[in-house]
């Protein structure tokens, strides 16, 4: 058994990982020959098994050897450790599996951060700001922000302004229909829909019919490949390290991302909040105001201090994380892996 495991499985696997191309070229002929040689026997065994299934009234299904998601993730980790995959490739492959567990609500730009214009107001009130913001698409509402009437493409706006002049542009005549989706829609389904409909922006609606935010094609792609910076983006990291135990963190960062980045174990399944700011509001017990700046909370061994409040939400938090013993770090990693496995099982 020892020699069978070492020479028949472990050593060939290590050899194939480290010298993949040369190993494949050296063995492809032998594998092809053996496959052809044993093909009749495999067909005979399959036919016999299928016959027994039919006799016992069981369903005959095509069998394909497959691996579980956990096994695939383990293979990706092994590939990175051995150098077959670099860090970027490993992150992308892992992100693909995390992608299917997210909803549009998890990746949206919330309504409070969406730049919009009111169709009922004069264009002159928005013109300078529209040109300054440099968005390619702008949601347009009428009177109430929950009443989205369309999407303005800035390309169309600039062409029309060149033709008739800025003062004569009719925003209503340039609007494209908004693509509405429920905020709980899985992002993998949303990506397919946007691709099929050739739409670049989805307007999210909550269960009460109100506008909750937007998701763009870029947002969805960034969930897989990471942040895509363009020439107008301002680099504002969600987490800024101050010292070995202290961080300045955006209140909008999700609990899931915070756990991943700082190796924490905060509860990311709470129904009352999804973000760090939401967690602190939950602890605070009321809508935050500027006077709350400086307040500190201790939660699950972490010290959280409110540093900035804007428009009734928490913008910045100072987070102090006590040093963690090596054995506890391993326990946290194991708990994190168990959470991922549990999510995979619940999805299946």
Residue 314's CATH number: 3.30.465.10
Q: Are residues 281 and 214 in the same domain?
A: no
Q: Are residues 217 and 111 in the same domain?
A: yes
163-202 pLDDT, tens digit each: 999 989 999 999 999 999 999 999 999 999 999 999 999 9
Q: Are residues 17 and 114 in the same domain?
A: no
Mean pLDDT of the chain: 85
| Residue 332 pLDDT exceeds 80 | no
Residue 181, domain member (yes or no) = yes
| Residue 347 pLDDT exceeds 60 | no
At residue 230 the predicted structure's pLDDT band, cuts being 50, 70 and 90, is: low
| Residue 316 pLDDT exceeds 70 | yes
Q: Given this model, what pLDDT does residue 150 score?
A: 96
**What is the domain range of residue 284?**
239-326
Boundary-marking domain end, from 164, 196, 225: 225
202: left (phi over 0), alpha (psi -120 to 50) or beta: beta
Q: Given this model, what pLDDT does residue 81 score?
A: 76
- The whole-angstrom separation of Cα 79 and Cα 91 is 12
Q: Given this model, what pLDDT does residue 249 score?
A: 94
CA dihedral 118, 120, 123, 126 (to 10 degrees): -30
- The whole-angstrom separation of Cα 194 and Cα 180 is 11
Residue 130, domain member (yes or no) = yes
268-313 pLDDT, tens digit each: 666 678 889 999 998 888 989 889 999 998 988 899 999 999 888 8
Q: Given this model, what pLDDT does residue 335 score?
A: 64
More confident residue, 293 or 11: 293
Q: Are residues 245 and 216 in the same domain?
A: no
Q: Given this model, what pLDDT does residue 326 score?
A: 67
Q: Are residues 197 and 125 in the same domain?
A: yes
Q: Given this model, what pLDDT does residue 62 score?
A: 54
| Residue 267 pLDDT exceeds 80 | no
Q: Are residues 55 and 126 in the same domain?
A: no
pTM above 0.75, yes or no: no
At residue 344 the predicted structure's pLDDT band, cuts being 50, 70 and 90, is: low
Q: Are residues 132 and 59 in the same domain?
A: no
User: Residue 5's Cα: distance from chain center in Å?
Assistant: 39
Q: Are residues 254 and 196 in the same domain?
A: no
Q: Are residues 143 and 170 in the same domain?
A: yes
Cβ-based neighbours of 195, under 8 Å, separated by 6 or more? 217
Question: What is the tally of structural domains in the chain?
Answer: 3
Q: What is the CATH number of the domain that holds 200?
A: 3.10.580.10
Q: Given this model, what pLDDT does residue 213 score?
A: 95
Q: Are residues 176 and 217 in the same domain?
A: yes
Q: Where are the beta strands (DSSP E) in the chain?
A: 109-110, 117-118, 137-142, 144-153, 180-182, 201-205, 211-216, 239-241, 246-250, 296-299, 302-310, 313-320
Mean pLDDT of 112-127: 91
Residue 86, domain member (yes or no) = no
Q: Are residues 28 and 116 in the same domain?
A: no
Q: Are residues 209 and 318 in the same domain?
A: no
Q: Given this model, what pLDDT does residue 266 score?
A: 84
- CB–CB of 205/193 below 8 Å? no
Q: Given this model, what pLDDT does residue 33 score?
A: 93
């Amino acid at each position: 058994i020892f020699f069978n495991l070492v020479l028949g499985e472990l050593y060939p696997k290590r050899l194939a990982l480290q010298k993949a191309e040369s190993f494949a070229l050296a063995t492809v002929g032998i594998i092809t020959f053996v496959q052809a040689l044993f093909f009749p026997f495999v067909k005979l065994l399959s036919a016999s098994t299928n016959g027994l299934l039919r006799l016992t009234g069981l369903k005959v299904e095509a069998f394909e050897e497959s691996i579980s998601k956990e096994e695939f993730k383990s293979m990706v980790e092994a590939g990175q450790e051995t150098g077959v995959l670099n860090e970027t490739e490993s992150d992308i492959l892992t992100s693909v599996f995390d992608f299917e567990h997210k909803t549009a609500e998890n990746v949206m730009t919330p309504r409070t951060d969406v730049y919009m214009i009111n169709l009922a107001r004069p264009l002159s009130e928005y013109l300078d700001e529209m040109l300054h913001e440099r968005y390619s698409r702008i949601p347009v509402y009428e009177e109430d922000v929950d009443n989205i009437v369309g999407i303005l493409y800035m390309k169309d706006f600039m062409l029309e302004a060149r033709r008739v002049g800025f003062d004569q542009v009719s925003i209503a005549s340039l609007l494209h229909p908004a693509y509405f989706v429920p905020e709980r829609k899985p992002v993998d389904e949303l990506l397919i829909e946007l691709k099929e409909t050739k739409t670049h922006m989805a307007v999210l609606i909550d269960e009460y019919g109100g506008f909750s935010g937007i998701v763009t094609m870029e947002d969805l792609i960034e969930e897989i490949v990471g942040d895509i910076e363009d020439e107008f983006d301002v680099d504002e990291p969600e987490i800024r390290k101050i010292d070995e135990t202290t961080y300045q963190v955006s209140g909008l960062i999700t609990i899931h991302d915070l756990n991943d980045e700082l190796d924490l174990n905060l509860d990311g399944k709470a129904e009352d909040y999804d973000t760090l700011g939401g967690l602190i509001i939950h602890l605070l017990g009321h809508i935050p105001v500027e006077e709350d700046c400086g307040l500190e909370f201790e939660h699950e061994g972490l010290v959280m201090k409110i540093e900035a409040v804007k428009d009734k939400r928490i913008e910045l938090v100072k987070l102090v994380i006590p040093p963690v013993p090596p054995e506890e770090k391993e326990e946290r990693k194991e708990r994190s892996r168990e959470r991922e496995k549990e999510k995979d099982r619940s999805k299946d």
